[in-house]
Amino acid sequence: MSVLIETTEGDIVVDLLVDKSPRLCLNFIKLCKIKYFNFSPFYNIEKDYTCESGDPQAFTGESEGGSSVWGAISGSEEDRWFKPDDNELTHGEKGTVSMATSILGQKKVCGSQFIITLKDKLPQLDDRAVVFGNVVEGLETLDKINNAYIDEKGRPLKDIRIRHTYVLDDPFEDPDGLSEPPTSPGPTPAQLKTVRIGSDEDVIPDEEEGQEAERRRQDQLARSKALTLEVIGDLPFAEVKPSERTLFVCKLNPVTEDEDLELIFSRFGKIVSCQIVRDKQTGDSLQYAFVEFEDKEACVRAYFKMEGVLIDDHRIHVDFSQSVANVQNERRTTQRRRRRDEDDRRDRRDYRRDRRDDRRDDRDEREFRDKRDDRDWRGHRDRRDDRDKRDYRDKRDHRDRDRDRGSRRDREGEHRQRYRDRSRERDRHGSRHDSRDYRYRDRSG
């Protein structure tokens, strides 16, 4: 069960302890539901202690200390107060929410005023108020309330009020006669009269009023204009300041020359530069000039002495220069010099890197050449070994072929010898076969 309290300093979410303080929680939830707390001020703030609210008529002269939800419904004086729950909850943590109590007759009663602690461990409040909830979101809002400017009575100089209340979870039945408003009601005329400083206004301490506030406003305006000029390119940077050693001289006679003006102003001190601004096309004088001194004191003396002086029948006007062209030119010159130096350093680094690369390439080439020579020598040796091995194999093959050829001849010789032997054997037995053949012929005849 939770309630959201929207204040001028931020939102606060309160978790209600319904089990421990059901009657107090019922009263608080229903008061929030009928928007009873709208525009209620935090009327008493004690730094690092407590802040109090819950009385919408505070400071109006019509306040009666608030009312319970039953008194708000019936309007009866008897229903304005009720007896709180008896519990043993204590103000042990920052953000503890409790209902303020008072003694009516001989019993303790409470209405609508509640307290929120701004510090841990405040046991002295246990007898003055009855705890019914804790702040679970919005502790930073409590810090803002704690740091608010207050008067001697504890009222904040800048009003801190409850804008709206929203019931996030309501477990209770509505009391008889309770009517929720269709829209959030606005403040009454009596409440509006109690506004001291609105929530949209700033609190300015007394010592910063008047000239101090005007000075701050002018400084802020000047910074804003300078930033605008920087954005459009008229200023090199927003914090730039004109030279304190340069005078702006105008209303000059067109015939006045740079040397004449420098001679006149040089009696106040050493001059660094004296330049009459001229038209770029025609070269005619534009009748104003810039005179830059070596030191600030000489520039100040010239400013006081040369105002309204007659030079070549013209009374000149002298003022401190507000131009930052020289500063911008110096800045650009410095930037160009810095870029040039960076380019030189980069070129030197590139040159050194190229030298290192060349040396590394030479070393790699030498190593490659050495490896190549060694590889060629090894290759030559390998080729020679291969050739020797090939020659050996060829010789071996020739020997094998010769041996094989000799073997074939031997085998052929053996075959021929066996053939001759068989032929001789047949010749030796040939006469017997012939006589047998004759015998066969004679028998057949």
DSSP code per residue over 91-144: --STTEEEEEEEEETTEEEEEEEEEEESSS--GGGTTTEEEEEEEEE-HHHHHH
pLDDT value at position 445?
44
Average pLDDT over residues 188-197: 88
- Whether residues 76 and 209 share a domain: the answer is no
247 and 291 in contact (C-beta within 8 Å)? yes
Look up the pTM and report it: 0.48
Torsion of CA 88, 89, 91, 96, to 10 degrees: -160
Average pLDDT over residues 51-76: 90
> What does DSSP assign to residue 148?
S
pLDDT value at position 324?
55
Average pLDDT over residues 398-419: 66
CA-based max dimension of the chain = 188
Neighbours of 137 (CB within 10 A): 15
Of 275, 298, 323, the position where a domain reaches its end is 323
- Whether residues 123 and 226 share a domain: the answer is no
Report the alpha-carbon distance of residue 54 to residue 32 in Å, rounded: 10
Distances (CA, A) of 223 to 52, 211, 240, 393: 42, 18, 11, 101
Q: Look up the CATH number of the domain holding residue 255.
A: 3.30.70.330
Chain centroid to CA 177: how far? 55
pLDDT value at position 354?
74
> Which two tokens mark 303?
């400013």
Tens digit of each residue's pLDDT (9 = 90 or more) over 376-394: 555 555 566 666 676 667 7
- Whether residues 182 and 210 share a domain: the answer is no
Average pLDDT over residues 225-235: 58
Average pLDDT over residues 119-142: 94
- Whether residues 27 and 140 share a domain: the answer is yes
pLDDT value at position 225?
63
Give the residue numbers spanning the domain of 283: 246-323
- Whether residues 181 and 208 share a domain: the answer is no
The answer, yes or no, to whether residue 438 has pLDDT greater than 50, is: no
What is the count of structural domains for the chain? Answer: 3
The answer, yes or no, to whether residue 359 has pLDDT greater than 70, is: yes
Q: Which residue has the tokens 């996030």?
A: 168
Q: Look up the CATH number of the domain holding residue 35.
A: 2.40.100.10
pLDDT value at position 183?
86
Angle at Cα 118 formed by Cα 113 and Cα 122, nearest 5°? 85
Angle at Cα 354 formed by Cα 352 and Cα 359, nearest 5°? 95
Give domain status of residue 403, yes or no.
Answer: no
Beta-carbon contacts of 432 under 8 Å, excluding residues fewer than 6 positions away, are none
The residue among 87 and 197 whose pLDDT is bigger is: 87
Share above pLDDT 70 across residues of the chain, in percent, rounded to a whole number: 76
Report the alpha-carbon distance of residue 72 to residue 178 in Å, rounded: 9
Q: Which residue has the tokens 């109006």?
A: 60
Give domain status of residue 178, yes or no.
Answer: yes
pLDDT value at position 364?
73
77 and 70 in contact (C-beta within 8 Å)? no
Average pLDDT over residues 337-359: 76
Give domain status of residue 281, yes or no.
Answer: yes
Average pLDDT over residues 134-152: 94
Mean residue pLDDT across the chain = 82
Give domain status of residue 345, yes or no.
Answer: no
Average pLDDT over residues 360-387: 64
- Whether residues 151 and 14 share a domain: the answer is yes
Identify the three-state secondary structure at position 435. helix
The answer, yes or no, to whether residue 132 has pLDDT greater than 60, is: yes
Handedness of CA 57, 61, 67, 71 (dihedral sign): negative
Q: What is the C-alpha R_g of the chain?
A: 58
Neighbours of 78 (CB within 10 A): 9
- Whether residues 275 and 315 share a domain: the answer is yes
Angle at Cα 101 formed by Cα 42 and Cα 22, nearest 5°? 95
| Residue 341: band (very low, low, confident or very high) from pLDDT cuts 50, 70, 90 | confident
Beta-carbon contacts of 25 under 8 Å, excluding residues fewer than 6 positions away, are 1, 16, 17, 18, 132, 133, 172
- Whether residues 153 and 186 share a domain: the answer is yes
Of 323, 344, 373, the position where a domain reaches its end is 323
- Whether residues 49 and 126 share a domain: the answer is yes
Report the alpha-carbon distance of residue 42 to residue 53 in Å, rounded: 5
Report phi then psi at 117, rounded to 5: -80, 145
The answer, yes or no, to whether residue 358 has pLDDT greater than 50, is: yes
Beta-carbon contacts of 423 under 8 Å, excluding residues fewer than 6 positions away, are none
Of 307, 323, 339, the position where a domain reaches its end is 323
pLDDT value at position 270?
92
- Whether residues 232 and 184 share a domain: the answer is no
Give domain status of residue 373, yes or no.
Answer: no
pLDDT value at position 444?
45
The residue among 225 and 341 whose pLDDT is bigger is: 341
The answer, yes or no, to whether residue 31 has pLDDT greater than 80, is: yes
